[in-house]
Amino acid sequence: MKVAIPMFGNRVSPRLDCAPAFLVVTLENDQSIKREEFAATSWAPHERTGYLIDLRVDAVICGGIDWCSAETLQRQGIVLYGGVTGDIEEAVAALVRGELNSPALPPRSRRGRDDPPN
C-alpha cells in the first residue's frame, strides 16, 4: 500500500492544498519499505490531486481537504483519512494499527457559484 501524507515539517499538514511537501510511504506487511519525499511548492492546489493519482497512491492521510479534491481522489479509489493531526510517524503507525477512520466527504462549500446573487 502506498500512502501519501502532506507534510508540515514532521507533522501532518493542516491543509492538503497548502502543504510544502508530501511524504509517500510504501507499506508491506505493516512495515515501511520505501519512503519518498516530494517538494510541492510548485504544485498548484488544483494540481495536487493529479500528482497523487499519478503517483498511484492507495490512501491519503491529511488534516483538512476541500470537497472537490476529496471527491476527485475518492473517485479514483484512493482512501482518505482526513482530520488527522500530529506527528507523521504516529499517523502512519495509527494507520497500520487500524486506528484511523475514513470519513465521508467534507461539506461542500457554498462559496462561489453556489452563492445566490446579491
How far, in whole angstroms, is CA 15 from its chain's centroid? 9
Instruction: Count CA atoms closer than 13 A to 49's CA, side-chain side.
Output: 17
Domains of the chain: 2-110 (3.30.420.130)
Q: pLDDT digit of tens for each residue in the chain (118 aa)?
A: 999 999 999 999 999 999 999 999 999 998 889 999 999 999 998 899 999 999 999 999 999 998 889 999 999 999 999 999 999 999 999 999 999 987 655 666 555 444 444 4
What is the helix (H) or strand (E) element at residue 37, kind and residue range?
A: strand 31-39
